[in-house]
Amino acid sequence: MSRHSDTKGVDFSTLLPQEQINATVRQWMDNDIPSFDVGGLVVGSSVKSAQLWMKSPGIFAGKPFFDAVFSCLNCTVEWNKELAVEGTFIEASSSNKILLATVNGPVNKLLQGERTALNIISRSSGVATLSKEAVAAARALGWNGLVAGTRKTTPGFGVVEKYGLLVGGAATHRLDLSQMVMLKDNHIWAAGSITDAVKLARQAAGFSQKIEVECQNLEEAMEAAAAGADIAMLDNFEPSQLRKDAQTIKEKYPHIIIEASGGITTETMPDYLCEHVDVISQGKLTQGYSCIDYSLKITH
């Protein structure tokens, strides 16, 4: 399988279908302002500027979503081109705030977009920061496989969290139910066997989709490989057993991708790393991240 490649300098914003992102942002704005904006009445609509400050250390991510929020409010964003580069670690703090952008527009519009825009970049940056730490830990140990997230994302917000994974150098894993077939224990039980589940899935998926099978032991992984699965997920294995079984599987089925999963964190990840494991997935990357602190302040 393809191994890790350096994402430094990659502009991931071009992945995003702009009209779709605009519609999603508009929905978030509608949720935040379902009726009257009394605060907007208080401040009026004179044109003002607001400054975006980063106030805690981390990887900067979420820029295109921030832009989309203020674009839908007919405001303009001027970025600090030297500092506001996605994927860059910025050493900010409450006592060393870093100015990343200036937003211009009617003051009521600036404040209408403030919280939604900050929520997005603080979370996207949080995912990117945790992802970068996990990838760096794997590279420091000489492992060049893929550190991946999972589909454990926030409903309605997954595109931002998956984007943060990419900016942080991690793999997204499947984006949704339609992108890749994953047969878990419930699918296997309902179908009757791994072999029957894989064969039926292949009839529908054809040649254009990979099929992954969640396996609880070596026997299940060998059955999945023999049935034609592309990926065997070794789920909740003890590290020593996982490394041993991964080697056994690869010796007979060298083409199959081996994914290690199940409660793995950056701290425990070194125990699972070996040349026979291709992917380490961590649900924590989109479930257990800390938000990066930003503020947007009207200049006066």
Give the Cβ contact number of residue 1 at 10 Å: 12
Q: Is 152 a residue of the active site? A: yes
At 135, list the tokens.
């990838």
Beta strands in the chain (DSSP E): 47-54, 58-59, 76-79, 89-90, 98-106, 146-148, 181-183, 211-215, 231-235, 257-261, 279-281, 294-298
Catalytic residue chosen out of the listed positions 8, 81, 109, 152: 152
DSSP state for residue 239 in the 8-state scheme: H
Name the CA radius of gyration of the chain, rounded.
Answer: 22
CA dist 175 to 12, 116, 181, 228, Å?
A: 15, 23, 11, 22
At a CB cut-off of 8 Å and minimum separation 6, what does 200 contact?
191
Look at the block and give the residue holding tokens 């060049």. Answer: 144
Q: Alpha carbon 175 to chain centroid distance?
A: 9
User: Distance (Å, rounded) from C-alpha 86 to C-alpha 61?
Assistant: 5
Where does residue 83 rank: exposed (0-12), middle (13-18), buried (19+ CB within 10 A)? middle
At a CB cut-off of 8 Å and minimum separation 6, what does 49 contact?
102, 103, 104, 298, 299
Catalytic residue IDs: 152
